Structure 1
Amino acid sequence: MKSLYTVLLLTISNLFMTFAWYGHLQFKKISWLHGLGLVGVILISWGLAFFEYVFQVPANRIGFEENGGPFNLFQLKVIQEVISLTVFTICAVYVFKTDKLGWNHLAGFALLVAAVYVIFKKW
């Protein structure tokens, strides 16, 4: 169950992270945000990043093996990266609609799956 909570919280965290890091690139499409200066963009991004941490910190605390969770630090990091790229890809293709998913992206994701396997494999 802690695995599920960890992945769920990291997924929510990464949704906020994606919008904090890349959402402002879409502000030109929103009339009332179009003329917002850099300081305003930074403040909005910081506000979103706050919620990223509200979910990310508990996810890592719940998931970390020294706190009774199932994952070590390397496993937590790899899980976070895979979730991050998955959430980013879905947002870029279906929400922001700025990019198309290509064969090279799929090949890269396959390599990430291989990385997950190697990190989680007990040698």
Structure 2
Amino acid sequence: MSPHILPPLLLLVSNIFMTFAWYGHLKFENRPLYLVILVSWLIALAEYCFAVPANRIGHTVYNAAELKTMQEVITLVVFSVFSVLYLGEKLTINHLLGFAFICVGAFFVFKGPIGS
């Protein structure tokens, strides 16, 4: 698979795992904190198995700032879907506007230098 396409796909899978690791336990408030930390850590281990190859492969065609920006935008998309479908929370116009501004920033990271 293309080194342009594989990193975003791996980062997508990575972010699904990490979102569950960081926020999945919020539905299990009655569980002891040490237990949710342990389970979250195990989920995060799976996340690393996708994130590290995504960044290693991706760095052959993207710079580190582009990879980080890509990861952040993917995180916002995954988190938005997760918070609505899993946590049952609503996204407001304020959330969407904030995310849109982040996407505008991502555009400039990928656009390259202005005025050259």
TM-score by length of 2: 0.91
Aligned to 1:47: 42
State percent identity of aligned pairs. Answer: 48
2:37 and 2:82 map into 1 onto residues whose CA distance is 20
Q: What letter is aligned with 1:76?
A: L
CA RMSD of aligned residues (A): 1.0
Of 50, 55, 65 in structure 2, the residue corresponding to residue 74 of structure 1 is 65
Amino acid at match of 1:101: L
Shift of 1:104: 0.9
Where has structure 1 moved over 3 Å in runs of 4 or more?
Answer: none
SS at match of 1:74: helix
> Residue deviations 1:19-38, cap 9 Å, x none?
0000011114xxxxx4x311
C-alpha separation between the residues in 2 aligned to 1:39 and 1:95?
A: 22
Gaps in structure 1 of 5+ consecutive residues: 29-33
TM-score (norm 1): 0.86
Which of 30, 33, 36 is 1:38 aligned to? Answer: 33
- Matches of 1:20 and 1:44, distance apart in 2: 8
**Residues 40-77 of structure 1, C-alpha deviation per residue, up to 9 Å, x if partnerless?**
1111000100001000000000000xxxx221010000
Q: Which runs of 5+ in 2 are unaligned?
A: none
Matched residue, 1:21 = 22
1:15 deviates by 0.5
Instruction: Give me the whole-angstrom Cα distance separating, in 2, the residues matched to 1:116 and 1:70.
Output: 17
Residue in 1 aligned with 2:94? 104
* Cross-structure match for 1:90: 81
How far the C-alpha of 1:122 sits from its partner, in A, is 2.0
Aligned to 1:31: none
Residue 36 (structure 2) pairs with residue 9 (structure 1):
no
* Aligned-partner Cα distance in 2 for 1:8–1:115: 21
Q: CA deviation at 1:81?
A: 0.5
Aligned residue type for 1:60: N
